[in-house]
Amino acid sequence: MRDLNRLRAEAETLASELPEFSVLTRQQATAHPGGAPRQRAGHGEDFWQYRGRTPEDSANAIDWRRSATGDELFIREHELQTARQMEIWVDPSSGFDWTSIKGGLTKAEEARIILTALAYQFCAEGDRARVLGSGKGAFNAGQLIQKSLEAFDHPNHSDVPSIPERDSSIVVIASDFYSNMDDMARAISSAASDGASGMLLQICDPMEVEFPFSGRVKFRRPGSTLSRIFGRTEDLKDTYEARFKKRQDAVRALAARIGWGFETHILGNTRRPLAFRVMQDLAGAGAPR
């Protein structure tokens, strides 16, 4: 059974190490209207508050109807509305929930920790995050870590992220991109064309990167009964590395095509630099193209 407490502790540690994550600071001026109310004054459709006029306010801004009831001039403010919602998805395939390190976290667990910590920091500003494929609604910062970690284990997880047709959400997808590459590319491309921005995060096991085998080895994929014996695996290393690189390049190309970010993480490396890079990538995401 997955040790949720450990994941939670790791995620909280990582989150505490990250700076506040504000996609908004840059985007505010051109924020997308509609969507989530942000409970503060800004561009939006709903009334937020009246306030007294200050000399900086232009005359156009004066709400004359309200001002007419008295001697003071009032400005009518709207509640800020954004559609900022982070959608996070972790590959549910059994190959992803695997590690070669004894007692170590699997790739999927690593992905959950990173994504949850990112989402938590994202939501600190009041935004919301949702675990794709879980069927659960979006969480806000309050219980996000606990709830989203639970939500990852939801049985309705599909092999391919089903990104809702909803523009301007920020999607972070963590996978190893070994299988279902075509389906996944299709799903991601279509989401991107709908206006979603985001990140592709590839998480690999060191063994998958280094291919440290020699002699006769019977390879088997987790969740598959298919196995194959290779005679001299040390000779296979070059071929393997070429293929591994090719797949990585394919994913990177996909990300570049749709304007998303792409990062690679290897189990055992520290998460913080990666999380920073992801945050940087995401800070540029959602900008109108």
The half-sphere exposure of 91 on its side-chain side, counting CA atoms within 13 A, is 27
Closer residue to other proteins (CB): 50 or 213: 213
Q: Residue 221, interface with other proteins (CB under 8 A)?
A: yes
Q: Residue 272, interface with other proteins (CB under 8 A)?
A: no
Q: How far apart are CA 204 and CA 272, in angstroms?
A: 16
Closer residue to other proteins (CB): 29 or 229: 229
Q: Residue 96, interface with other proteins (CB under 8 A)?
A: yes
Q: Are 112 and 2 in contact (CB under 8 A)?
A: no
Helix 181-193, helix 233-258: angle, nearest 10: 10
6, 40, 186, 216: residue in contact with other proteins (rule CB under 8 A): 216
Q: Residue 127, interface with other proteins (CB under 8 A)?
A: no
Q: Residue 178, interface with other proteins (CB under 8 A)?
A: yes
Helix 271-284, helix 107-123: angle, nearest 10: 50
240, 252, 277, 283: residue in contact with other proteins (rule CB under 8 A): 240
Helix/strand/coil percentages in the chain, nearest 5:
40, 20, 40
Q: How far is the CB of 180 from other proteins (least distance, A)?
A: 9
Per the DSSP assignment, residues forming a β-bridge with 89 are 173
Q: Residue 207, interface with other proteins (CB under 8 A)?
A: yes
Which residue ranges make up the site for other proteins (CB under 8 A)? Answer: 95-96, 98, 107, 176, 178-179, 204-205, 207-208, 213-222, 226, 228-233, 235-236, 239-240, 243-244, 247
